[in-house]
Chain A
Amino acid sequence: MTPADAARGDAARERILDATFAAVARGGLGELTVEAVASEAGVSRATIYRRFPGGREQLITDTVEREVERFLARVVRSVPDAPATVTERVVALVMSAHRELGAHEVMQRLLREEAGALVPELVSFAPRLHDHLRALLAAWFRAAHDAGEPVVVTDDRVIERAADHAARMVLSYAGTRGRTDLTRERDAEDLVRRRILGGVLP
């Protein structure tokens, strides 16, 4: 395959995933068919099966995967670089994760109406999302330590464990609101200090 073929292939793949997303946004997950995606994308069913041999299931999984990656990219983009402190960065992370989840209208509707179909898909991506956030947080903890911020985590092993736990809590609080109003920066900062970075800050 030449690079031009690959680029055309990627474009076709993106168009089919766009069509899947549009069809789900209109009719939900339960009603989704390969035919509906084919007509939405203006391609034949055979084209879809060639690119997505798993058919309907693969269309759903790959679309959810792309949404998860976009979500992560949007969240990370809104976090300030150094010289922001590690606390400021994690506050921005959890606030923007909460905001982005709430703003995803299609996901919110599916969570209300078809949680049984959507949640297992999302749960299957949770380990990967968690890995991304853990690596990000570990890098921030190291940078904070190197910059002389008062953090109690110093060696790599402790940093990895603290980042693993903090990533879990960021996902949990962003996904389920509970008692904390994550649209308020002060509440978010309190949460981050006492529940998310408990093992990191002095």
Chain B
Amino acid sequence: MPPALDAETDFGLLSQPMGASQATPGPDERIVDAAVRCLARFGLSKTTIEDIAREAGVGRATVYRAFPGGRESLLDAVFTAEVARYFVELDRALCAADSFEDLLVAAVGHSLRFLSEHPALRTIVALEPGVLLPQFSFQHLEPVLAVVDAFARPHLEPHVGDDASALAEHLVRVVLSYTLHPSDDVDPTDPASVRALVQDHVLAGLRSPAAR
């Protein structure tokens, strides 16, 4: 089993560890959490430092002390913290899986739920589609594939060997397709539905002999 990724692991994008695993939130974390709630309500361009300070129950000066770079650096911290939370939770789900099939179901199910239920993501995609959608489309998706590959390869290698990177990439594509363009057939909140997707469309192909 690969070592568990925790919030302190230095992992590329996640180089500023934050949040999810700490028991008592510090002021920075409270401000970041408040920012996520504001983004869920107002979207990206309309969320101000004043909104976030009010939501966190602190003064503007406290926000600027915690994030001297102001709005930009606070929003960067929010992004970093949410990406870290995604990977920490995903790692926990993967480490709990007993079989290869369960591992794939956990990966796809957790990712579909995280993306489709994330309140700030939903608002930003609905109100400001030009901000996030390009990061997940066409050639702009390549850096995302690289980050997921680095995370997922150690989990997948014991099961599929050299195919791990290509399989990790395929899982990203499956998750993004069903997130951006939901299907009547796949319900992310229903484990049986996610399992059927994995069995019918991911595992089935892995049994096929390679073309060469």
With a 10 A CB-CB cut-off, give which of A120, A186, A194, A198 has the most chain B CB atoms.
A194
**Given A172-B177, A178-B169, A179-B166: A122 touches B137 (CB 8 Å cut-off):** yes
Counting chain B residues whose Cβ lies within 8 A of the other chain, the interface size class is 35 or more
Counting chain A residues whose Cβ lies within 8 A of the other chain, the interface size class is 35 or more
The segment from A13-21, A36-44, A159-167 found at the interface with B is: A159-167
Do residues A115 and B166 form an inter-chain contact, with CB atoms below 8 A?
Answer: no
List residues of chain B with CB within 8 A of the CB of A190.
210-212
What 0/1 readout, one digit per residue, does chain A (108-125) give for beta carbons within 8 Å of chain B?
000110011111101100
With a 10 A CB-CB cut-off, give which of B197, B200, B201, B202 has the most chain A CB atoms.
B201
Main secondary structure of the interface of B (DSSP, over half): helix
B-contacting residues, A171-197, CB 8 Å: 171-173, 175-180, 186, 189-190, 193-197
**Considering only CB atoms, which chain A residue lies closest to B166 in the complex?**
A179
A63: shortest Cβ distance to chain B, in Å? 17
Among B137, B206, B207, B210, contact of A176 (Cβ-Cβ < 8 Å): B137
A-contacting residues, B113-162, CB 8 Å: 129-131, 133-134, 137-142, 145
**Considering only CB atoms, which chain A residue lies closest to B133 in the complex?**
A119
List residues of chain A with CB within 8 A of the CB of B3.
none
A162 to B145 alpha-carbon distance, docked (Å): 24
A-contacting residues, B161-191, CB 8 Å: 165-166, 169-170, 173-174, 176-178, 180-181, 183, 185
A169 interfacial by beta-carbon distance below 8 Å = yes
List residues of chain B with CB within 8 A of the CB of A130.
181
List residues of chain B with CB within 8 A of the CB of A116.
130-131, 134
List residues of chain A with CB within 8 A of the CB of B130.
116-117, 119-120
B contacts, CB < 8 Å to A? 129-131, 133-134, 137-142, 145, 165-166, 169-170, 173-174, 176-178, 180-181, 183, 185, 197, 200-212
A contacts, CB < 8 Å to B? 111-112, 115-120, 122-123, 126-127, 130, 161-162, 164-165, 168-169, 171-173, 175-180, 186, 189-190, 193-199, 201
Kindly list the 5 A-B residue pairs having the minimum CB-CB distance in the complex, ordered from nearest.
A198-B205, A116-B130, A115-B134, A120-B129, A190-B211
